[in-house]
Every structure is written in C-alpha cells, then in structure tokens.
Chains A and B, each alone.
Chain A
C-alpha cells in the first residue's frame, strides 16, 4: 500500500506540471498581446510596462513560465480585471457556495442513487429493476439547466415553497436555514449524477452476486437480505467508491450550468461570467484551481479504492 501510494503520488507530479503548462499557455493562445489581455482595455501604458516587466515578457517563454509558476506557488494567481482584486480572493468568495452545493448534491446522490441501485439489483430483471434502470437513463438524458428551470417554475414560481435564485452565506442572517436556497440547485445537479450511481451500484452488485463467496453465503442458508447487504453490497461499494471521482468531475462541470441557472455566487458561475467579461486572470486561476482539486480528489479516491480492495495495489 505504501509503495502504491508513493507510485501514485509520483504520477501526479508530471500531470500537474503538464496541466499547469496548458493553463499558462492559455493566456498566450488568446489573440493579442498577453499583457493587454490580462489588464483589459482600461490599462494605462505604465501599468502595461510594469506587468510586462513582472511577467518577464522580454525573456524566453520558459522563463516566463517559471515566473508565473513561482507566483502561483506563493498563492498569487494574478489580479481580476473586473473586480480589481486578487484572483485568490475572488475564488475564495465563491468557494462557500460551491463547496456547500457539492456537499448537498453528494448527499442526494448517496441518499437517492445507492438505495435505488441496490433495490434494482436485488430485483434483477423484474419491473422494479426495469423502471429504475430506464428511469436512471432518462434522468441522465435531461439537460441540467432545463431541469433547473422547470424546478424553479414549479417550486419557486407556482408553489412559492422555495427561493428561485441567489444564496446568502450561512454565516449571515438566517444561518443554516439559508441552505434552503441550495435545495433546488442541489437536486438539479443530483439528478444526472444519481443516475450514474444507480447504474453503477446495480452493475457492480450484479457482478458480485455471481461470485463464489456469495453462493457459499446463500448455501449456508443466510437470509437473502443479509446476503444482499453484508456480502454483496459491501463488496459492490468498492467499485462505487471509484465512481465518486468521476462524479465529482461531472459535478464541477454541471455546477457551471446549475449555478448560472440559479444565479448562485459560486465558482462555476464565476467561470462563465469571467469568460463573458473576458476577465482572463480569473479564468486562468479558476481553471488551475479546479484541475488541481480534481487531480487531488482522484488521487484520494484511487488510494481509498486500493485501501478498500487490496488487490488493486498489487496489480
């Protein structure tokens, strides 16, 4: 396990390095002078000269990359053109919303996806299984923003039960009750991702059911529910654990859309608005943060997977 951890950590470094090169290159791929791109249209010649010197634009490109990476390592992701604030602060402002949204979505996925998957697998081939599998595929075919708009139309506009947009911090007035603002967005995000988990739980339960130890458990005369939960579900969960890495990636992608639909002050909406405002330093910073986060989460998931199923690290 230790050797596997080290090996996995070592493969992370070149990937992170290459991803950082791509994120750095992004500013240089946009047509126009990178300094003008970073400072926006309102920049004065003095500001342009100062930033050019800071970025080392008269130096070769790899030196420029080294300057940039040095700044990133010190937590300096540049300055937002629109907010006139450090990019790190702009990202930190959106972090609360996005983290809480992701957590609430994960709760829905576990609460909805896992039990439905288990029930579908235990009723394999029956009508419950067909409805669950077909329903999951249908849910995965719905555009997230469309579902979000319909939920707003039903629960916010028509019934008036829940707020339709925005999210005041849980540290402001209202406290934890403010989480109700995230109820519809998290359900919207959970729908397609629960679908994925339902199908995965079902498929891995069916795989495990065919294994010898399950047949032995049945032959011993154990109660079917006990076999399903203790012998099949526990082993099937290992495969599902690995899927959470992918789910998280999907969450990040779809949060961009969901946060826009519900006008949430999160990182996802920040990406979209920064693209529309051409606030390149923010785009660059957010993309770098998300990619790092994604790689680290995948690393944790892989290690958890190896820990749960020791056969993985031996391969």
Chain B
C-alpha cells in the first residue's frame, strides 16, 4: 500500500491537472457503483407530462423528449462508458499483446502476423468499426468487440516494437541459457517488463473507445437505442437541439471530461515509465 502511494506520488507530483483528472475518474467510478442510490429516477421511466423540461430543482439536468430524467440517464450512462472502455481495453490488450509479442519473438510467424496487422491498419479506424458493425448486430458485446478489434492492431504494432527491443537484452539471454522454454521467456521474463507501457496504452485505448463508441451510437450503428449511453443520448438530442440544448450539453460534457481526464492520466503515466518505451506509445 505504501509502495503504491509512493508510485502514485511519483507519477502525479506537480501535475495538478492530471490529479483533477484522477478526481473526475473517481467520481465516475462512484456513479457507476452507486447509480441506483444517487438518483430517485429510473433512467428508462417515461413521463409524457414532463417532456423536454429545462433543468430545474426537480430535474437538475432537465428531461428528454420522453420525459425521462437526463441526470439519471447520465449516471447510468457512466456504467456503459466504463463497460465499453474496459471491454475494449481487455480485448485489444490481450489480442494485441499476444500478436505483438509472438510476432517479435518468433520471426517467421511475425512475418505473417504483422502483414495481417498491416492490412487491417489499411482500414481507417472508424471505417473498420462501421464495416464490422454492418456484419454484426447492434449490441453491447458487439460494440465492445468491434472497438477492441480496431485497437488490437495498434497495440500489436506497439508491442511488436517493444518486444524486439527486449528480446536482445542480456536478461533474456540469461533466461535462455539457464534453460527457460519459450513460454517461460515470453511470459515470465519479457511480459513483466511490458506491464507499465501496457498500462499507459490502456488509458489511451479507454479514452479513444469512448469517442469511437459515441460516434457509432450517433451514427445509429452502436449500442441498441434503448440503452442509456452518453452517445445514444446525444444521438437522440440532435432533433431537439434548438429547443432543448441541455440534452446536448450534459452528456457531451461528461464524455469530454472523461476522455480528457483519461488522456491526462495517460500522459502523466507515460512520462513516468521506462524511457526506452516512451516513443513507442502514441497518445492523443
């Protein structure tokens, strides 16, 4: 615990903005866990009498065209944001790490796998996501999967470069000489050195995933429309934007704050990691 605090202090010392970012992310986490206790309203409950009510004492963030409470939907939307962000991080880090590490370690396999990655990277990110969503149905799992796949390629390329650097280090030679097998060298000796850059990459993927998910929702190709996500709320607000600007303002501000905070945290972490890997990870 003391060690964790010391590391935290080392990363965030003198970075007030990044600390504010951490603070915001903690608030989002609280909203995720305590959503039902934070608002008396059900995010799905329709109230035709109260439709398009401006923010007031009863409905702090106003209501939408069905009279649903915007604050309640924003709070429950945080759950979706976290789910999509973490899901995309897990899919892309697991896939990207395996592809990148194996490709760098086994050169012949790498020739094939990295060409596949090159081809996938020939498709611009959102276009690839759109095409994949054409084949799949609109659902939470598919959205996570699609965004995860898109960032798997970037992660694989980054991990490939990092593993190549580590592969020739003396400690890897030492492990091989003492009789360690391939799995042991890869996962016991190389992988632990990649954990901190992976953590940095995770923050950036989380941030990008929020923007991609919101864009997919807005285009009508992301989460099913009945799910209260920040992106879906913005997509619905488009029609009422001149009459009810709060519908645009609140979910948008939440996305921006979350993405900005994650980017700030990622930036602070990147500055604190092993200088060998600094140039490999591209944030915003």
Contact = CB atoms under 8 A, between A and B. Distances in A.
Interface string B106-145: 0000000001101100111111001101110000000000
Interface string B135-178: 10000000000000000000000000000000000000000000
Contact of B234 (A136, A143, A276, A295): A143
A260 B130 CA distance: 14
Interface in B243-279: 245, 248, 252, 255-256, 259-260, 263-264, 267
Interface in A256-302: 256-257, 260, 271-272, 275-276, 283, 287, 290-291, 294-295
A19 to B, nearest CB: 5
Interface string A10-34: 0000110011001000100110000
A313 to B, nearest CB: 19
A253 B263 contact: no
Given A134-B17, A145-B214, A157-B242, 10 more contacts: A19-B122, A26-B131, A30-B134, A137-B284, A146-B256, A153-B241, A199-B284, A249-B125, A256-B219, A275-B221
Contacts of A22: 119, 123
Contacts of A15: 115, 118-119, 122
Secondary structure class of chain A's binding surface, majority of residues: helix
B134 A275 contact: yes
Interface of B: 17, 115-116, 118-119, 122-127, 130-131, 133-135, 207, 211, 214-215, 218-221, 231, 234, 238, 241-242, 245, 248, 252, 255-256, 259-260, 263-264, 267, 284
Contact of A253 (B126, B133, B242, B260): B126
B220 A18 contact: no
A260 B221 CA distance: 13
20 contacts: A15-B119, A15-B122, A26-B135, A30-B134, A134-B17, A138-B256, A140-B284, A144-B215, A146-B214, A146-B248, A146-B252, A149-B238, A149-B248, A150-B252, A153-B248, A157-B242, A199-B284, A256-B127, A256-B215, A287-B131
Given A145-B218, A153-B241, A257-B215, A30 B135 contact: yes
B215 to A, nearest CB: 5
Interface in A135-164: 136-138, 140-146, 149-150, 152-153, 157
A196 interface: yes
Contacts of A291: 122-123
B58 to A, nearest CB: 25
Nearest to B248: A149
A208 to B, nearest CB: 15
A276 B225 CA distance: 14
A294 to B, nearest CB: 6
A141 B284 contact: yes
Chain A interface category by residue count: 35 or more
Contact of A252 (B124, B131, B207, B245): B124
A89 to B, nearest CB: 21
A195 interface: yes
A254 interface: yes
Contact of A290 (B119, B127, B214, B219): B127
Contacts of B122: 15, 19, 291, 294-295
Of all A-B residue pairs in the complex, the 10 with the closest CB atoms, nearest first, are A253-B126, A141-B260, A141-B259, A140-B284, A18-B119, A146-B252, A253-B124, A249-B124, A252-B124, A143-B214
Contact of B263 (A137, A143, A252): A137
Given A143-B211, A153-B245, A283 B131 contact: yes
Contacts of B115: 14-15, 18
A250 interface: yes
Contact of B134 (A149, A157, A256, A283): A283
Nearest to A284: B131
A96 to B, nearest CB: 20
Nearest to B120: A22
A131 to B, nearest CB: 11
Contacts of A294: 122-124
A14 B119 CA distance: 9
B252 A250 contact: no
Nearest to A157: B242
Given A15-B118, A18-B119, A290-B127, A257 B134 contact: no
A271 B124 contact: no
Contacts of A195: 284
B123 A19 contact: yes
B124 A250 contact: yes
A287 B28 CA distance: 37
A195 B131 CA distance: 27
A295 B94 CA distance: 27
Contacts of B259: 141
Given A19-B119, A153-B248, A137 B267 contact: yes
Given A30-B134, A294-B122, A140 B221 contact: no
Nearest to B252: A146
